[in-house]
Structure 1
Amino acid sequence: MKPLDPRLLRHARAARGYVVLTAALGFATAALVVAQAVVLASVLAPAIQGTADLADLGPRVGLLAGVVAARTGTSWAQERFALRAATRTVAELREQVVTHAVALGPRWLASGRGPEVATLATRGLDALEPYMVRYLPQLLLAATVTPATLAVVLGLDWVSAVIIAVTIPLVPLFMILVGRLTAGTSERRLVVMQRLGAQVLDLLAGLPTLLAFGRARGPERRVRALGEANRRATMGTLRIAFLSGMVLELLTTLSVAVVAVGVGLRLVHGGMGLEPALAVLVLAPEVYLPLRQVGLHFHASTDGIAAAEQAFAVLDEEAPRPGTVPAPALAGSTLALHGVSVRAGERDVLAPADLDLELRLGTSSGRVVALTGPSGAGKTTTAMVLLGLVRPDRGTATLTAPDAAPLDLADVDPSTFWPQVAWLPQRPVLAPGRLRDVVAGGLDVTDADLDRAARTAGLDAVLATVPGGWDAEVGRGGVGLSVGQRQRVALAAALLGDPARVPLVVLDEPTAHLDARGEQVVLDAVRAFRDQGRTVVVVAHRASLVHAADDVVEVRSGSLDGWGPAVGPAVRPGEVGEAGEPGEPGTGTTPPLVPAGATERSRP
């Protein structure tokens, strides 16, 4: 990132006013520095020479005290507003990064960028504070105080001004040389920190599975190695910072000493007056001070600069524009997929491939549609296409209201479409609050309605074990509840929705983490959704869900080369694809799945 990157001003509104304020305070600081040096010299020179008594110097001492107080107040204001602007800037960038990452969609996040964005939006952007509080103000002071003080020194003593003008370019030269090395080290440190964060997040997410297979202690070596790499990178950055700080301090100290020696020799030989000599000696360190501070705080800001670069890289990713057409009422409408194909991340396959599916929403009898197929065929992706979270690479997803022309789902405003859909992912994310409020979701429902939904979703068994019952507090994301308990809470919340307003329910492998009893709860909820007249789309892996379906749709993957036809083993009648083990014979009561080449079958 440049010393003052225009992208920061473009993306962070708080940074704009802060830069203007810092520039104004910089000019005020430059004027106060010059005034302090001149007034101090006018006080010391007569006092040393004995040409004025204390009474004569009183007004000048008072003026000096006022200048010092004003300079102190300016520094305080700079620090105060810098902290406030840094907090707001980080908050704005964090919000924009998260919002834009969501707009980029699940496919982009699933490409491995999700953990990076999580690390960037938390600890990564917090490192931008030293840049805003320390580095940027000193950079602006270097652009104001240094030229102003050098101009005053030139008016007082041209010899000292020439010495300063010759030596001062050495400071930014060493800063550039050392800064490039430090910037590379900080970028490597941020990458290591992101890898460490991603590894820990993956480990925590898969910890129950690792514990079940007795492999919980295996990944700790990898996490320890990444932590050690992060420690080495941090210590390397600190070593470079200390060494470069020493170099800059030595360089500026020697430069000030050369000026002081020259001034002293001319004072001895009578070639210079005492008052201008004192003013030059006071101003000489002030000329170098902003540059020294820039070099000192540059190393503390490199982590933030590297994080800002990554934030801008995320924000520069082109996201699909959200639709603007209001969604019609889904009850009575038709949601259809025609020849839909989606490329599966970085794999050279289409999943799904050439899928046709038609859902009539809000019928009086309700309907359950099961999506089946081999692992990786694109069942979850199909659900995301229906939800408008993923756009097809080929084919169309349309929403057609009665007596209206079909609407491309990509043109529909999500804020008007999503409230009419209930979605239960594999790992539901719940809002924090009382369990009663989480289930009600802002709806005006009675206790009888809550109890009825709880019984259907099996939540009543959870309420009996959770202290406080309906008044139990649930943490952010459902902390305090198991995955199965969170699914029951989400099912109960979906059951409370008005079937006329929420006619579509999408369930993504709802029995994946449940035992037989929990599976039965899901089946009861699915039947309850159908009895309410809703259309239920369920990603089915188990035979029990296929049994409960009215329509069974087999999702198939396809070849990316030439966008060829569907490939992969067919699921023969009498077998249950992924509902059981591959090739495991069915029970005989399982409805036949769609044979190769077909896409949908309806149960009579």
Structure 2
Amino acid sequence: MKPLDPRLLRRARAARHYVLLTATTGVLTAALVVAQALLLAHALAPVVTREADWPDVAGTVGWLAAVVVARTAVTAVQERYAHRAATRTVAELRAQVLTHAAALGPRWLAQGRTATVATLATRGLDDLEPYLVRYLPQLLLAATVTPAALAVVLGLDWIAAVTIALTVPLVPLFMALVGWLTQGYAQRRLATMQRLGDQVLDLLTGLPTLRALGREHGPAARVRALGDAHRRATMGTLRVAFLSGMVLELLTTLAVALVAVGVGFRLVYGHLDLTTALAVIVLAPEVYLPLRQVGAHFHASADGVAAAEQAFTILETPAPARGRLAAPDLRSATVRLEGVCVTAPDRDLLAPAGLDLALAPGTVTALAGPNGVGKSTAAAVLLGLLAPTAGRVRVAGLDLRELDPDSWWAQITWVPQRPVLTPGTVAELVDDGRQVHPHARDRASRLTGLDAVVARLGAGWGTTVGQGGYGLSLGERQRLALTRALLDPAPLVVLDEPTAHLDHEGETVVLRAVEHLRGQGRTVLLVAHRPTLLACADHVVEVRASALEGADAAPDGPPS
């Protein structure tokens, strides 16, 4: 990432406003720094040389105090708005990353990127705050205060100005040398953190199963090892930051001392007056200070810079184009899959291969076939979550790619193999933000058997369910999702392996739910294995896979 990456200004409106504010405060700070040095010199020099007494320079001291107060106020304003702008910028980038990652689809996320996006959207982008609060203001000060102070020194003493001009380039040179090393450490630390996050997320997901098998302590050694790796990477970054800080501090100290020695000798031999000498000595550190602070805060912001680079990489990944046409009414429109082929990830396989399917309004259609042939993938294509490699999905003669996704999804209820449940009460999860009459909720829960589950819970419908459905078994989560689907008025219902986590009694519940949906005149697509579930369908479509070499034999269709 560049020192001031244009992508950050394009992506975050708060960052643009903040940069304008910081540039303004930088110009004011430069003027105040020069004024402070000159006023200090003119206040001290006459008193030291006995040309005036303190009452004679009282007015100058008053102006000096006013400049110090103004400089403090400018710094306070910049600090106040820095934290606010950093919070807003991180929030904007986080929302954009999550929105764009969702637009890229589940297949893109499934390619080892889920943990990356999760880590980036939580801990990773938070590290961008030091970059915005500390590094960026110092960068702008280096572009304003340093040249302004050097120009004033040049007007006062050209020898000191030449000395500063020859030593100033050493600061960015050492900053670059140390920064490249620190950047490598920061990238490794971020990669370690993402790896740790991936492992911990997998562990939390499988923890109920591990506890059931008595193996919950097994992964402890692996998590401990990842934690140690994260600690070592962090300490390595800090070690380099401290050492680089010492190098830059020593370099700027020697440079200022070199200027002071030259000024001192010329002052002793009468080649320079005390007022000019004091002004030059006070201004010399101000020339180096912004550059020194840029180097110091670069290390503190290195993690955030690495996270921002990853965020921009995700945001620059092309997403499928969104359609603009309103979706036809699915209560009367037929949905057709024509020659749909999807390339399986990491396999030389088309799954499904050449799938033809027609979903007529009010009918129940089942997708059958062995595991791995692409039944769930076909459902994802129908939902618009995955673009087919070949073939198309048509709705009342319109291509699905031409339809607005929001108008399409508003007419579909989807029950995946593992229902997604956010924290909330059982009633809130079933109602799903809709105004549902309690009697309708009770009728739907009796059909799915959720009423017996609610009766066993301590607080009934008011029982709080944790993240991912924590507090409910897999079968109970499936019953809750089925109840939610029954209460949703969407005309198309997609049930992906609805009996996957249910016993024989639960299978009967699903059959009753499907019959109830049929009675309501809703269109149902089932992904099923069990014969009893296939038997209740009006149409059963066998899904097949084929080797990738046989892709040419699949029905022709435009690539998506």
TM class by smaller structure: over 0.9
Q: Are the counterparts in 1 of residues 478 and 501 from structure 2 also a CA contact under 8 Å? A: no
Distance in 1 (alpha carbons) for counterparts of 2:230 and 2:434: 48
Instruction: Measure how far apart 1:540 and its partner are.
Output: 1.2
After superposition, the C-alpha distances for 1:44-69 in whole angstroms (9 at most, x for unaligned) are 11221222223222211111111111
Instruction: Look up the match of 1:506.
Output: 494
Q: Are the counterparts in 1 of residues 394 and 400 from structure 2 also a CA contact under 8 Å? A: yes
For the residue of structure 2 that corresponds to 1:395, the secondary structure is strand
After superposition, the C-alpha distances for 1:207-244 in whole angstroms (9 at most, x for unaligned) are 23334445444433333322222211111111111111
Q: Are the counterparts in 2 of residues 47 and 53 from structure 1 also a CA contact under 8 Å? A: yes
Instruction: Look up the match of 2:455.
Output: 464
Alignment gaps of 5+ in structure 1:
401-405, 567-596, 598-604
**Alignment of 1:89 onto 2:77:** no
**Alignment of 1:209 onto 2:209:** yes
Distance in 1 (alpha carbons) for counterparts of 2:190 and 2:435: 48
1:166-245 alignment to 2 at 5 Å? 166-245=166-245
How large is the Cα RMSD of the aligned pairs?
1.8
Letter in structure 2 aligned against 1:230: H
**Alignment of 1:128 onto 2:136:** no
**Alignment of 1:378 onto 2:366:** no
Distance in 1 (alpha carbons) for counterparts of 2:114 and 2:532: 33
Distance in 1 (alpha carbons) for counterparts of 2:214 and 2:461: 36
Distance in 2 (alpha carbons) for counterparts of 1:419 and 1:480: 29
Letter in structure 2 aligned against 1:549: A
Distance in 1 (alpha carbons) for counterparts of 2:118 and 2:98: 8
For the residue of structure 2 that corresponds to 1:415, the secondary structure is helix
**Alignment of 1:150 onto 2:138:** no
Instruction: Look up the match of 2:538.
Output: 550
Instruction: Look up the match of 2:527.
Output: 539
Instruction: Look up the match of 2:420.
Output: 429
After superposition, the C-alpha distances for 1:403-457 in whole angstroms (9 at most, x for unaligned) are xxx0111111111111111101122223444433332234343221111011112
For the residue of structure 2 that corresponds to 1:206, the secondary structure is helix
Letter in structure 2 aligned against 1:372: A
**Alignment of 1:523 onto 2:519:** no
After superposition, the C-alpha distances for 1:369-393 in whole angstroms (9 at most, x for unaligned) are 2222222111110111111111111
Q: Are the counterparts in 2 of residues 426 and 510 from structure 1 also a CA contact under 8 Å? A: yes
Instruction: Look up the match of 2:439.
Output: 448
Distance in 2 (alpha carbons) for counterparts of 1:547 and 1:113: 39
For the residue of structure 1 that corresponds to 2:500, the secondary structure is coil
Q: Are the counterparts in 1 of residues 335 and 393 from structure 2 also a CA contact under 8 Å? A: yes
Moved more, 463-472 or 553-562: 463-472
1:39-188 alignment to 2 at 5 Å? 39-188=39-188
Alignment gaps of 5+ in structure 2:
556-560
Q: Are the counterparts in 1 of residues 416 and 496 from structure 2 also a CA contact under 8 Å? A: yes
Q: Are the counterparts in 2 of residues 349 and 560 from structure 1 also a CA contact under 8 Å? A: yes
Q: Are the counterparts in 2 of residues 353 and 565 from structure 1 also a CA contact under 8 Å? A: no
Letter in structure 1 aligned against 2:117: V
| Structure having greater relative contact order (Cα 8 Å, sep ≥ 6) | 2
Q: Are the counterparts in 2 of residues 558 and 565 from structure 1 also a CA contact under 8 Å? A: no
For the residue of structure 1 that corresponds to 2:502, the secondary structure is coil
Instruction: Look up the match of 2:330.
Output: 330
Instruction: Measure how far apart 1:106 and its partner are.
Output: 1.1
Instruction: Measure how far apart 1:542 and its partner are.
Output: 3.0
Instruction: Look up the match of 1:316.
Output: 316
For the residue of structure 1 that corresponds to 2:154, the secondary structure is helix
Instruction: Measure how far apart 1:503 and its partner are.
Output: 1.8
Aligned pairs, number? 555
Instruction: Measure how far apart 1:397 and its partner are.
Output: 0.8
Distance 1:209 1:469, change over 3 A: closer
Instruction: Look up the match of 2:558.
Output: none
Instruction: Measure how far apart 1:119 and its partner are.
Output: 0.9
Letter in structure 1 aligned against 2:511: L
Distance 1:207 1:547, change over 3 A: farther
Letter in structure 1 aligned against 2:420: V
Distance in 1 (alpha carbons) for counterparts of 2:237 and 2:230: 11
Instruction: Look up the match of 2:10.
Output: 10
Q: Are the counterparts in 2 of residues 343 and 349 from structure 1 also a CA contact under 8 Å? A: yes
Distance in 2 (alpha carbons) for counterparts of 1:304 and 1:464: 49
Letter in structure 1 aligned against 2:404: D
Letter in structure 2 aligned against 1:384: A
Instruction: Look up the match of 1:591.
Output: none
1:243-392 alignment to 2 at 5 Å? 243-361=243-361, 363=362, 367-392=363-388
Q: 1:398 aligned to 394, 397, 400, which one?
A: 394
Letter in structure 2 aligned against 1:503: P
Q: Are the counterparts in 2 of residues 371 and 553 from structure 1 also a CA contact under 8 Å? A: yes
Q: Are the counterparts in 2 of residues 341 and 392 from structure 1 also a CA contact under 8 Å? A: yes
For the residue of structure 2 that corresponds to 1:69, the secondary structure is helix
Distance in 1 (alpha carbons) for counterparts of 2:211 and 2:470: 19
Task: Report sequence identity in percent.
Answer: 65
For the residue of structure 2 that corresponds to 1:321, the secondary structure is coil
After superposition, the C-alpha distances for 1:104-152 in whole angstroms (9 at most, x for unaligned) are 1111111111111111111111111111011111011001000000111
Distance 1:207 1:437, change over 3 A: closer
Q: Are the counterparts in 2 of residues 156 and 280 from structure 1 also a CA contact under 8 Å? A: yes
**TM-score, L = length of structure 1:** 0.89
Distance in 1 (alpha carbons) for counterparts of 2:428 and 2:212: 33
Q: 2:549 aligned to 561, 567, 588, which one?
A: 561
Letter in structure 2 aligned against 1:158: W
Instruction: Look up the match of 1:590.
Output: none
Letter in structure 2 aligned against 1:504: L
